[in-house]
Amino acid sequence: MFRLASLTLVVLFSFVEAPAVGQIPEEFTNLQLLDPAIEKSELVSIMRDWAGGLGVRCNHCHVGPENLRGMDFASDEKATKRSARQMLLMSRAINRELLKDLPIVVEEGRKRAQVVSCYTCHRGMNRPPRKTLNELSRVAFSDGPAAGVARYHELVALHEDSGKYDLRPENLVWLANAYLDGEDPADARKVLDSVLDMYSAEAAAYATLVRVELASGRLPEAEAALAKLVELDPSDESTAWVGGMVERARARTAENAAGAAPGLHEWSFLVGSWESTSKRFSSEGQVIEDNHGTATFSWDLDGQRLRERQTTTLAGQPMEVLNLFSAHPETGEWQIARTDSLHHTFNLMSGSASEGTLTFAEAHPNPNHSVTRRWIYSKSGDDAFSLRLEFSEDGGESWFVRNETEYLRR
């Protein structure tokens, strides 16, 4: 039987298994698409075939109780029966017009035409099964990557031998790629970790892992993943593709290191993706809000700027922040330009670096604020740093902490 997976628009038949022959009436009424003079045995055979294609019983389409006694087969009350007629018309058109020139095939010693049927799309299920990746994505993007992985294991447990789903582990790799395409390398990594825990020799997972590491600003880890990929499948097209990505990343890193201002290069560890946890304080030092977010740092203008894009919340409202950092190659003076999605302002701050700390103060205090603000970045290691926002209400004589944010590499 040839495959018709491309017929994604098809939601085929909704007919159901008929009860025993004795329950079928002697005279048929309301047979709109079947021959009114059809033999009882042929009608029962057709109904059972449709029912098996959907894995349902008579009362899925016909009016009647669960025990199938006293069925009203003629009624058109149920939408499923009305839909079934449309599906029958569609499948007839496909078989008679689109598939008529396909060759006759021989299966188990019998010749037959190649046709579509209920089972072609429904695979024995009430609703046609989703494409595996679509099903995993539906769950994962609603409930998180762990839920998507759990759904994959559930499908394997329920349908491993049924042929209803494509259960190759590559589907999880494709899910990781979907996260990566959505600029979420951290969740992509979580999916890949589950794949490699089960299938440590899955080359496709390592190809995607290379991309995840590069997106996270981890060139050495990307190189390690590439080495494993080459070991597993040196001739695969994806090996050459991601190998080229690593080579280009090496070249960019060398160029950026050579061309970046000295101060910026010292803070190049920021490049990559981060998770943030923030506390917002009152002027009395009381915690008034806890926030969680993400941030991504990347090089801009060939290593002359560091760009940060941050997603967080403020007073319960979603907020996106865009920061652009620069450092003068001769004087070492830092500047940061900042804007966000909640305030109609653009802040320009000057600063300096010393001993793993960056301190910025507003170069032009906002006239709408009665306070002076400063931002202090502190490096805790290659995979952690913090940001403290301080306010002063007396022109800088004294300061209190307004926000404190911890960043961990994703």
Per-residue pLDDT, 302: 65
Per-residue pLDDT, 20: 41
Stated pTM of the model: 0.49
Per-residue pLDDT, 10: 35
Query: d(Cα 73, Cα 58) in Å, to the nearest integer?
Result: 9
Task: Give every CB contact of residue 182 below 8 A, 6+ residues apart in sequence.
Answer: none
The boundaries of every CATH 1.25.40.10 domain in the chain are 132-259
Chain centroid to Cα 223, Å, comes to: 25
Q: What is the tens place of the pLDDT at every residue in 241-273?
A: 888 888 887 876 766 555 555 567 778 788 888
Judge whether 43 and 18 are in contact, CB under 8 Å: yes
Per-residue pLDDT, 346: 81
Per-residue pLDDT, 6: 36
Judge whether 224 and 231 are in contact, CB under 8 Å: no
Per-residue pLDDT, 21: 36
Query: d(Cα 180, Cα 219) in Å, to the nearest integer?
Result: 16
Q: Which residues of 252-281 are buried (b: 16+ CB within 10 A; e: fewer)?
A: ebeebeeebbebbeebbebbbbbebebebb
Side chain identity, residue 264 = L
Query: d(Cα 60, Cα 366) in Å, to the nearest integer?
Result: 68
Q: What is the tens place of the pLDDT at every residue in 152-170?
A: 999 989 888 777 788 888 8
Per-residue pLDDT, 9: 34
Q: Give the three-state DSSP class for 338.
A: strand
Per-residue pLDDT, 18: 40
Query: d(Cα 190, Cα 147) in Å, to the nearest integer?
Result: 11
The boundaries of every CATH 2.40.128.20 domain in the chain are 266-409
pLDDT digits (tens), the chain, 410 positions: 333 333 333 333 333 444 343 367 777 888 888 888 888 888 888 888 888 888 888 888 888 888 888 888 888 888 888 888 888 889 888 888 888 888 887 877 788 788 888 887 877 777 777 788 888 999 999 999 999 999 999 998 988 877 778 888 889 999 998 988 877 888 898 999 999 888 888 888 999 999 888 887 788 888 999 999 999 888 877 888 888 888 887 876 766 555 555 567 778 788 888 889 998 888 788 888 888 888 888 877 766 788 898 888 887 888 889 999 888 877 778 888 888 888 877 888 888 888 788 888 875 555 555 568 888 998 887 788 999 998 887 777 788 888 899 998 87
Query: d(Cα 37, Cα 39) in Å, to the nearest integer?
Result: 6
Identify the CA nearest to 43 among candidates 68, 18, 7: 18
Per-residue pLDDT, 263: 66
Judge whether 356 and 342 are in contact, CB under 8 Å: no
CATH level 2 (architecture), domain 132-259? Alpha Horseshoe (1.25)
Per-residue pLDDT, 14: 37
Judge whether 149 and 191 are in contact, CB under 8 Å: yes
The rounded radius of gyration (Å) of the Cα atoms in the chain is 32
Query: d(Cα 335, Cα 360) in Å, to the nearest integer?
Result: 7
Superfamily of chain region 266-409: Calycin beta-barrel core domain (2.40.128.20)
> Residue 304 is encoded by which pair of tokens?
């002359």
Per-residue pLDDT, 11: 35
Query: d(Cα 277, Cα 287) in Å, to the nearest integer?
Result: 13
Judge whether 385 and 358 are in contact, CB under 8 Å: no
